[in-house]
Amino acid sequence: MLTLVLFNLTNGIILGLFYVLMALGVSLILNLSNVINFAHGNFLALGGYFAFSLAPYLGYWGAFIVAPILVGVIGVIVEQTMIKRVYPRPHVYSLLLTFGLAFIIQDMCRTIWGVNGLPLSIPNALNSPLSNQFFFLTGYRIFLVAVVIVAVAALFAFLGFTRVGTRIRAGTFDLDTVSALGINIGLLRALNFGLGIGLAGLAGVLAGGQIGLNPNMGDDLVLPSFIAIIIGGIGSLTGTLVGGLIIGIASAVTSIWWSAGSEVIIYIMMVIILVARPRGIMGEEGMMT
Amino acid sequence: MIALEAEGLNTFYGKSHILYDVGLKVEEGSITTLLGRNGAGKTTTLRSLVGLTPARSGKVTIFGKDTTRTPTYRIAQMGVGYVPEGRKIFAHLTVEDNLRVPMERPGPWTIDRVFKTFPRLAERRMNKGRQLSGGEQEMLSIGRALLLNPKLLILDEPSQGLAPLIVQEVFKIVQQTKADGMSVLLVEQNVRASLEIADYAFVLDHGIMGWSGTAADLMKDEERIQELAGASAEEWSFDDDLSAQEAVALSHQPTTVA
């Protein structure tokens, strides 16, 4: 029984970490650009596929570094050519645009890499379980946890301690004033968008090593990521971090006793939060206005 | 030399026409005040000048360059500091982080100098913007704009909602920036106080520039000043619909802490 609980708890943490990576990216973009990116899961898939195609040339570690950066660059290009044009328009435009982008990227993946799943091979050193009793604690899973912790810490340090990061945080509050202080907010938004998309790319590389690649691999993560943001509190990245972990763990732990409930529980939690504390766990009053 | 000149500005919010052929001028090294009653279009004029709400027609020239269609951040980078209405502090950022937002234009103003000029901000450097008093927020908003090392400082009602003593302090700072060689465009409701420190004055009325001249001339025009000051006269007076006794009674009621 203990092993079963630990097994599910580990699964929950891993799942939660994927939600966190996804939701942080969605949150960054939502906070600064007011765009809900429905294509986020497809950028995740793109990350995985890029790693797959780069690995023969750069090796796993090279692909691991380069693929997320490349996805981030593509994010900047998409922002500059498409997303940026709908900023002055009502929300529905950006919703439709990213919704359409999701299909386009998905079909591009199908066309280039095929409809069938592909494996993303990981170095043998990462592949073996650490012990027989805790068979679920593979080197790869520990690596995955470490990478996410480092990435999230780096993100928070960037936002907290650099001038550009400070400007991004200021911009989530009042873009007009940031631009009146001499900051090119177009550039700031592009950079921020690329950063959020790059996080999805990283999640894709990590997910590829765990569950393999397919054109829909990010789809199941998109909705829970939105819910993680709502539960954590819109506008608060710390909240998003907490929200992602909570729903990941809740969903895995629920499946111990009620396997069909592992998805439902996320929605139940969202409803409870929306009724009891609409601003979310760490959200601030009025951040949506 | 002229720091800023606007000619024939017509500005709209959606379909509503706010400014009608507004023109104004800020001489280099002067304090120019833009006066007018609530809703006259003062804030809109400033927003048009810095490019936040660009005029649909007309021309803005800053330091001899046509900036009518220049994006706001480029205007700021030319050396135009803007202290917006309501101060617009980043409420969820600390005082220090608020000061790290502006682009660093070379010049005498650094974060250290802002802290030296406003010791109160130094004491509160780790406090969030929302925890500051109105006066402190105003200092922060001015200090933040000064970090651009502007040649022209535009202030939108810096005295709004501040206690008289703090207002005096704010006006002293504005005078100091002029002494440092900056040109100042000051929008105010506080008519008499701003005329005291200003060189030139413009009066906006329902989106139309109704009067312009030297501050000294406007000061002599008691009738116009009365009209401008209106309900928001800077001398402490009670509203017409509230008798003095009632007001005193109200002011003695215990206030509940929110």
Q: What is the 3-state secondary structure (H, E, C) of B212-246?
A: EEEHHHHHHCHHHHHHHHHHHCCCCCCCCCCCHHH
Q: Residues A212-239: what's their mean pLDDT?
A: 92
Q: Which among A169, A181, A185 has CB closest to B144?
A: A181
pLDDT in tens, A62-102: 999 999 999 999 999 999 999 999 999 998 999 999 999 99
User: Does position B235 have pLDDT exceeding 70, yes or no?
Assistant: no
Q: Could you give the CA distance from residue B253 to residue B37 in angstroms, rounded to a whole number?
A: 31
Run of H or E residues at B3: strand B2-13
Q: What is the pTM of this model?
A: 0.89
Strands B208-214 and B200-205, by their bridges, are antiparallel
How near does any CA of chain A get to the CA of B94, in Å?
10
Radius of gyration of chain B (CA): 19
Residue B210 has pLDDT above 50, yes or no: yes
Interface touch B103/A182, C-beta < 8 Å = yes
- Report the pLDDT value the prediction gives residue B237, as an integer from 0 to 100: 42
- Under the banding of pLDDT at 50, 70 and 90, the label for residue A137 is confident
CA distance B218 to chain A (A): 31
The ipTM is: 0.87
Q: What is the pLDDT of residue B230?
A: 65
pLDDT value of position B231: 47
Nearest Cα to A183, choosing from A161, A162, A173, A168? A168
Show which residues on chain A lie within 8 Å of chain B, measured between beta carbons. Answer: 163, 166-167, 169-170, 173-174, 176-185, 284
**What is the arithmetic mean of pLDDT over B163-191?**
90
Q: What's the rounded mean pLDDT across residues B228-243? A: 50
Residue B247: helix, strand or coil by DSSP? Answer: helix
User: A173–B93: do the CB atoms touch at under 8 Å?
Assistant: yes
pLDDT over 70 (residue A143): yes
| The pLDDT of residue B201 is above 70 | yes
Minimal Cα–Cα distance from B153 to chain A, Å? 12
B248 has pLDDT over 80: no
For residue A174, list chain B residues with Cβ-Cβ distance below 8 A. 88, 90
Cβ–Cβ gap A174/B92 under 8 Å: no
Side-by-side strand order, sheet with B200-205: B80-83, B152-156, B183-188, B31-35, B200-205, B208-214
A178: distance to nearest CA of chain B, Å? 7
pLDDT of residue A111: 96
Closest-CA residue to A47 (of A200, A151, A201): A201
What is the per-residue pLDDT across A8-61, written as a single tens digit (0 to 9) for each?
Answer: 888 899 999 999 999 999 999 999 999 999 999 999 999 999 999 999 999 999
**For residues B68 and B57, what is the distance between their CA atoms, to the nearest angstrom?**
9
Q: Which residue type does B141 have?
A: S
Q: Picking from B1-10, B103-112, B149-158, B233-242, which range would have the lowest pLDDT averaged per residue?
A: B233-242
Mark out chain B residues that contact chain A at CB-CB < 8 A. 50, 52, 71-73, 76-77, 82, 84, 88, 90-93, 97-98, 100-103, 105, 144-145, 147-148
CB A49 within 8 A of CB A107: no
Domains, chain B, ranges and CATH?
2-252 (3.40.50.300)
Residues in chain A with CB shorter than 8 Å from the CB of B88 are 174, 176-177
Q: What is the pLDDT of chain B when averaged over all its residues?
A: 87
Rounded to the nearest angstrom, the minimum Cα separation between B201 and chain A is: 24
Mean pLDDT of chain A: 92
Closest to A87 measured CA to CA, from A152, A200, A179? A179
**Nearest residue to B101 via CA among B144, B39, B49, B51:** B144
- Report residue B136's pLDDT band, with 50, 70 and 90 as the boundaries: very high
Q: Has residue A130 got a pLDDT over 90? A: no
| Mutation to test the B interface, candidates A159, A179, A237, most B Cβ within 10 Å | A179
* Chain A interface disruption, residue of B44, B50, B89, B92, most A CBs within 10 A: B92
B-chain residue closest to A181, CA distance: B102
Interface test with B, best of A84, A162, A175, A181 (most B CBs within 10 A): A181
Residue B147 near residue B171, CB atoms below 8 Å: no
- Residue B93, judged by CB atoms within 10 A of its CB (0-12, 13-18, 19+), counts as buried
Give residue B249's pLDDT band: very low, low, confident or very high (50, 70, 90): very low
Task: Round to whole Å and give the CA distance between A57 and A169.
Answer: 38
Decide if B92 and A169 are in contact by the 8 Å CB cutoff: yes
**Is it the case that residue B184 has pLDDT exceeding 90?**
yes
pLDDT at A285: 56
Per-residue burial over A41-71, b if 16 or more Cβ lie within 10 Å, else e, is bbbbbbbbbbbbebbeeeebeebbebbbebb
Q: What is the dihedral of CA A236, A243, A160, A42, to 10 degrees?
A: -100
H-helix segments, chain A: 2-33, 40-78, 84-86, 91-113, 139-161, 163-173, 175-180, 185-211, 219-232, 237-257, 261-276
Average pLDDT of span A134-156? 90
What is the tens place of the pLDDT at every residue in B8-60?
999 999 889 999 999 999 999 999 999 998 888 999 999 999 999 999 999 99
pLDDT confidence of residue B255: 40
Q: Identify which has the larger pLDDT, A61 or A6.
A: A61
